[in-house]
């Protein structure tokens, strides 16, 4: 079914937008998360991504032309689909007859825009209601993990108000207004649906009760359903306001975006040389920063993508005493439960297991890691082998769509990473085009940021195949639940030293057990078995992955 994409409201003051550049053309295939166009707002030029999959059937606004918010921007649907009715109804949609489906916002969003002028007479000038933002395309409610501002604090545009826990990650939520934080609608640890009142910002001394009771004003919140994510991509650093921090008595000038990225990557700003005006540190300085010296970390002998921690400390009890407690499930935990249940009970799983001789892999890894500035793990080798095997067995790189099967010609391997609240799956985009060292660096970066809750939703979307590894915990063999909409997931066990038979002789060998869970709707048993045979051939002869 075709989806209408309207001109989004990418800032709280935006009334119309201009299409600076189309990154997709009519007839192009569009995946969820693909960048459709660059939209010029009243504040910056921002990348606008698609929240739908299909073919780009229609472009309503050519490059260089502007249109009001909610105007017909594009239509995405199935190739050959009749969209004449949607195009003819565009005028009605812009007048409010249709709700903008692109961000899947609630119906209050267009109403808020139209009422912001006439309805705001009942509240003092400069007062803004901040609502629970929609920070991911699947987010239905959010939890306030922590407040970085308190009632009475001064707030500047761009300041981080709170950390919001979504169904995918914990993300910093910044203010798009300046003023005093007058009211907090949710305490830390509390949850609410998207668009519920989160906070009120305005002049000091404002009657908060009057604002909360003014119904028209309640719809006047900033439309930040996607803004926090998009602001990270917004404009060049030269468009950021200059911010400063103090370190060791010296003033360090850095853009807010540069400071944010530096914090995520653990980079000390005093070690970075700025190339902006007057030595200001900008985004490219952080992205291009190379530490003078990094402390060497002990290399792991096997897989290093998964770690686990316990949220509940053990309690010492008197002998014979029973005790228990209930802990509120996080948004991540509830989402994991929902999606794994859906996968397990809708996709007919079956499992295939093989044992792989890892002698050559161990020898090859040792040689590779003897090279300067090169470190790869066994898990990196597994991920690379999977990507190459998927090229030879495209049936495994598919998704069940009901009436059709989606064949993914690109290969995006998801790598399961255990975090404190559960499990996330960061995605290595175009894995087949990466070499071992690139895979190793990418996995290390993504896994580290996953544990620090710094992954963006885009970095966890779009996998076509998944690898789950519990080998470093000594698990010899296990099976996993398929990560929908993938058709298969590979479970990687530990490498064990044991007696094996080679050339009729019992010798000491190193083996690893791999289990493949397949969706029988898309992957037949023989297809899964052939995929595992190819995978084993690559791992037992690693030189073939380097050729």
Confidence band, pLDDT 50/70/90 cuts, at residue 277: low
CATH superfamily label, 337-545 = Chloramphenicol acetyltransferase-like domain (3.30.559.10)
Paired tokens of 124:
């003092």
The string of pLDDT tens digits covering residues 496-520 is 999 999 989 999 999 999 999 999 9
Confidence band, pLDDT 50/70/90 cuts, at residue 90: low
Confidence band, pLDDT 50/70/90 cuts, at residue 136: low
Class of domain 3-86: mainly beta
Sign of CA dihedral 467, 472, 473, 474: positive
The string of pLDDT tens digits covering residues 74-83 is 999 988 888 8
Whether pLDDT at 284 is above 80: no
Q: What number is the average pLDDT over the span 250-276? A: 76
Residue 501 has a pLDDT of: 92
Whether pLDDT at 214 is above 80: no
Whether pLDDT at 351 is above 80: yes
Whether pLDDT at 306 is above 60: no
Q: Which residue has the higher pLDDT, 105 or 130?
A: 130
Q: Which residue has the higher pLDDT, 12 or 228?
A: 12
Q: What's the whole-model pTM score?
A: 0.52
Paired tokens of 47:
């990348």
Whether pLDDT at 354 is above 90: yes
Known catalytic membership, residue 410:
no
Whether pLDDT at 41 is above 70: yes
CA–CA distance, 427 with 139 (Å, rounded to integer): 19
Q: Reduced to 3 states, what is the DSSP secondary structure of residue 478?
A: coil
Q: What number is the average pLDDT over the span 117-126? A: 57
Residue 201 has a pLDDT of: 93
Residue 506 has a pLDDT of: 95
Q: Which residue has the higher pLDDT, 282 or 526?
A: 526
Residue 304 has a pLDDT of: 39
Angle formed by the axes of helices 525-540 and 359-369, to 10°? 50
Known catalytic membership, residue 524:
yes
Whether pLDDT at 525 is above 80: yes
Whether pLDDT at 237 is above 50: no
Whether pLDDT at 96 is above 50: no
Confidence band, pLDDT 50/70/90 cuts, at residue 265: confident
**Contact, 98 vs 90, CB < 8 A?**
no
Residue 403 has a pLDDT of: 92
Confidence band, pLDDT 50/70/90 cuts, at residue 546: confident
Residue 286 has a pLDDT of: 84
Whether pLDDT at 245 is above 70: no
Residue 457 has a pLDDT of: 80
Whether pLDDT at 278 is above 70: no
CA–CA distance, 475 with 484 (Å, rounded to integer): 24
Residue 12 has a pLDDT of: 53
Residue 519 has a pLDDT of: 97
Confidence band, pLDDT 50/70/90 cuts, at residue 310: very low
- Phi and psi at residue 452, to the nearest 5°: -95, 10
Residue 250 has a pLDDT of: 52
Spans of all domains in the chain: 3-86, 128-202, 337-545
Close Cβ partners of 356 (under 8 Å, ≥ 6 residues apart): 511, 512, 513, 514, 535, 536, 539, 540
With CA atoms as reference, report the closest residue to 180 among 149, 224, 212. Answer: 149
Residue 437 has a pLDDT of: 92
Residue 299 has a pLDDT of: 39
Residue 169 has a pLDDT of: 72
Q: What number is the average pLDDT over the span 402-412? A: 95
* Peptide bond just before 485 cis, omega within 30 deg: yes
Paired tokens of 168:
């995918």
Q: What number is the average pLDDT over the span 302-306? A: 41
128-202 CATH pick, 3.40.50.300, 2.40.50.100, 3.40.50.880, 1.10.3720.10: 2.40.50.100
Whether pLDDT at 425 is above 90: yes
Q: What number is the average pLDDT over the span 195-217? A: 81
Asked if 3-86 and 128-202 have one fold, the answer is yes
- Phi and psi at residue 465, to the nearest 5°: -160, 150
Confidence band, pLDDT 50/70/90 cuts, at residue 109: very low
Query: Mean pLDDT over all residues of the chain?
Result: 80
In the chain, the N- to C-terminal Cα span, in Å, equals 44
CA–CA distance, 195 with 109 (Å, rounded to integer): 9
Residue 11 has a pLDDT of: 59
Residue 258 has a pLDDT of: 75
The string of pLDDT tens digits covering residues 149-197 is 999 999 988 788 888 888 767 777 888 888 999 999 999 888 888 888 9
Residue 220 has a pLDDT of: 39
Angle formed by the axes of helices 436-451 and 378-392, to 10°? 110
């Amino acid at each position: 079914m075709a989806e209408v994409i309207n001109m989004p409201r990418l800032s709280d003051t935006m009334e119309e937008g201009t299409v600076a550049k189309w990154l997709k053309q009519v007839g192009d295939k569009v995946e969820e998360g693909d960048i459709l166009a660059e939209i010029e707002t009243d504040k910056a030029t921002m990348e606008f991504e698609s929240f739908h999959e299909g073919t780009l059937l229609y472009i309503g606004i050519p490059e260089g032309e502007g249109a009001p918010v909610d105007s017909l921007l594009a239509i995405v649907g199935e190739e050959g689909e009749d969209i004449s009715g949607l195009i003819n109804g565009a005028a009605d949609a812009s007048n409010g007859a249709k709700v903008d489906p692109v961000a899947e916002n609630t119906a209050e969003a267009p109403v808020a825009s139209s009422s912001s002028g006439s309805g705001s007479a009942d509240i003092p000038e400069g007062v803004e209601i901040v609502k629970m933002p929609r920070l991911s395309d699947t987010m239905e409610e959010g939890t306030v993990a922590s407040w970085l501002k308190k009632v009475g604090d001064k707030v500047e545009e761009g300041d981080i108000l709170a950390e919001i826990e979504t169904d995918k990650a914990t993300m910093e939520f910044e203010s798009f207004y300046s003023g005093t934080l007058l009211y907090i609608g949710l305490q830390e640890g509390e949850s609410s649906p998207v668009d519920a009142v989160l906070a009120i910002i305005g002049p000091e001394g404002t009657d908060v009760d009057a604002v909360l009771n003014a119904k028209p004003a309640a719809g006047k919140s900033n439309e930040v359903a996607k803004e926090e994510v998009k602001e990270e991509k917004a404009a060049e650093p030269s468009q950021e306001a200059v911010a400063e921090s103090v370190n060791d008595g010296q003033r360090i000038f850095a853009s807010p975006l540069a400071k944010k990225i530096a914090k995520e990557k653990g980079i000390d700003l005093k070690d970075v040389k700025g190339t902006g005006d007057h030595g200001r540190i900008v985004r490219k300085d952080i992205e291009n920063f190379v530490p003078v010296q990094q402390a060497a970390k002990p290399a792991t002998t096997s897989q290093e993508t998964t770690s686990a921690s316990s949220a509940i400390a053990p309690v010492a009890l008197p002998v014979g005493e029973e005790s228990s407690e209930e802990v509120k499930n996080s948004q991540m935990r509830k989402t994991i439960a929902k999606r794994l249940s859906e996968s397990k009970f809708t996709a007919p799983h079956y499992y295939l297991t093989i044992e792989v001789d890892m002698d050559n892999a161990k020898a090859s890894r040792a040689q590779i890691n003897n090279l300067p500035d090169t470190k790869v793990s066994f898990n990196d080798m597994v991920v690379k082998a999977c990507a190459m095997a998927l090229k030879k067995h495209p049936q495994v790189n598919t998704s069940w769509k009901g009436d059709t099967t989606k064949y993914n010609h690109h290969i995006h391997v998801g790598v399961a990473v255990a975090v404190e609240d559960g499990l996330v799956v960061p995605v290595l985009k175009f894995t087949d085009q990466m070499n071992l060292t690139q895979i190793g660096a990418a996995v290390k970066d993504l896994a580290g940021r996953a544990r620090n809750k710094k992954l963006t939703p885009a970095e966890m979307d779009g996998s076509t195949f998944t690898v789950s590894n519990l080998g470093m915990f000594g698990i010899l063999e296990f099976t996993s639940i398929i990560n929908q909409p993938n058709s298969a997931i590979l479970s990687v066990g530990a490498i064990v030293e044991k007696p094996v038979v080679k050339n009729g002789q019992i010798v000491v060998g190193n083996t690893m057990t791999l289990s493949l869970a397949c969706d029988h709707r898309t992957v037949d048993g023989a297809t899964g078995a052939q995929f595992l045979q190819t995978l084993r051939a690559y791992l037992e002869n690693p030189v073939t992955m380097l050729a």
